[in-house]
Amino acid sequence: MSAIDSLFDPFSLKSLQMDNRVVMAPMTRNHSPDNVPTDATVEYYRRRAAGGVGLILTEGTCPNHIAASGYEHVPYFHGEERLAGWKKVVDAVHAAGGKIAPQIWHCGGMRKRGVMPEGDVDGYAPSGMNVPGKVNRHIMTQQDIDDVVRAFAEAARDAQRLGFDAVELHGAHGYLIDQFFWEGTNQRTDGYGGSMSARARFAVEVIEACRSEVGADFPIILRWSQWKQQDFAARLAPTPQLLEAFLQPLIDAGVDAFHCSQRRFWEPEFDGSDLNLAGWVKKLTGMPTITVGSVSLDQDFVAQPAEGDGAASQPASIDRLLEMLDRGDFDLVAVGRALIANADWPKVVRSGDTLSLKPFSKALLATLD
């Protein structure tokens, strides 16, 4: 089997049966007026399913908590009209032969007071910090924690009820779950702060609550990252030993796969090995992993100012990616901006006509195409 064949080999994760290893990465689009998925949303995801994506992870969608959202015009995952909109998305993706999972997303301290429709509601954070050392958000009480855990569980329940094929919990990039993980923003002195295992307690409770709603066979994916929007150099686990200690409680709680977010998939995670983050997670745990990070493009979108902002990224070779996949470093490959520019990216790549791939331009974000 050739390396390209590995990308199009079927994959199973509990009840989820995928035709290939290509995942559409979750990407915020801000095209949901009144926080409702529209007909344009339906067509946007349908086109990617028809283009050959094995599993679509939706843009972040907010559970039923007053402070979950941090940005205008993002879709919500509660309320009759909003869930009806998501049902249309699910049905369209399935009709096109695809599989789909919602990403459930609480923005935590990334929310700023004034963002509509919640208006004057503050961001909620474990220690009231959006960035280390600066208390400028609401400090979560035990009741707040319980409310958010329940909101995630209800969202997982509704995802299964609507016919989604799995659910992804957003635990990366400095949002709420990650703010509990990160010592820089978690300075709590109760059972949710202090040691690495204590800082994972909130995520464990979220995962366990979701699992109790969906049963044993419905896949739960956790997206996580070392880096944060607030600090690109942040690392939750700076050694393989600490990484293993970080992951095990999450596995015990019920995670079925880890979506390991890097800004550049080809970068090694630890000295002395060329394994990336997803490679190390799989090596240490044996769990299925998804790699992600500038796949098929030559620039990172969230780059430091000196590196540019990825506003115009040209197609890039995936030979290194295929080599890593073929040797078993990870199981699935999440493609982001290249799928915004090329809805049929999987079919084009499989055909070998990669010269016809279109570059990504930031201007493409202005519409939902």
**Domain CATH code at residue 188:** 3.20.20.70
Task: Give the CA count within 13 Å in the CB-facing half-sphere of 249.
Answer: 17
pTM: 0.96
User: Which pair of tokens denotes residue 126?
Assistant: 């474990």
pLDDT score for 320: 95
Query: What is the model's pLDDT at position 298?
Result: 84
Per the CB < 8 A criterion, the answer to whether 109 and 185 are in contact is: yes
- Positions in the chain whose pLDDT score sits under 70: 1-2, 301-311
For 199, the domain range is: 3-366
Q: Which pLDDT score, from 0 to 100, does residue 299 have?
A: 82
**What is the predicted pLDDT for the residue at 217?**
98
Phi and psi of 98, rounded to 5°? -100, 175
pLDDT of residue 312: 73
Q: Is the peptide bond before 315 cis (omega within 30 degrees of 0)?
A: no
For residues 254 and 220, the answer to whether their CB atoms sit within 8 Å is: yes
Identify the active-site residue in 45, 76, 124, 175.
175
* Per-residue pLDDT tens over the stretch 92-129: 999 999 999 999 999 999 999 999 999 999 999 999 99
pLDDT of residue 305: 35
What's the pLDDT tens digit per position in 296-315? 998 876 544 333 445 678 99
Q: Is the dihedral of CA 72, 73, 75, 80 positive or negative?
A: positive
Residue 259: what residue type?
H
Domain total in the chain: 1
76 counts as catalytic: no
Three-state SS annotation for the chain = CCHHHHHCCCEEECCEEECCCEEECCCCCCCCHHHCCCHHHHHHHHHHHHCCCCEEEEEEEECCCCCCCCCCCCCECCCHHHHHHHHHHHHHHHHCCCCEEEEECCCHHHCCCCCCCCCCCCCEECCCEEECCEECCEECCHHHHHHHHHHHHHHHHHHHHHCCCCEEEEEEECCHHHHHHCCCCCCCCCCCCCCHHHHCHHHHHHHHHHHHHHCCCCCEEEEEEEEECCECCCCCCCCHHHHHHHHHHHHHHCCCEEEEECCCCCCCCCCCCCCCHHHHHHHHHCCCEEEECCCCECCCCCCCHHHCCCCEECECCCHHHHHHHHCCCCCEEEECHHHHHCCCHHHHHHHCCHHHCCCEEHHHHHCCC
Report how far residue 76's alpha carbon sits from residue 64's, in angstroms, rounded to the nearest whole number: 8
pLDDT confidence of residue 19: 98
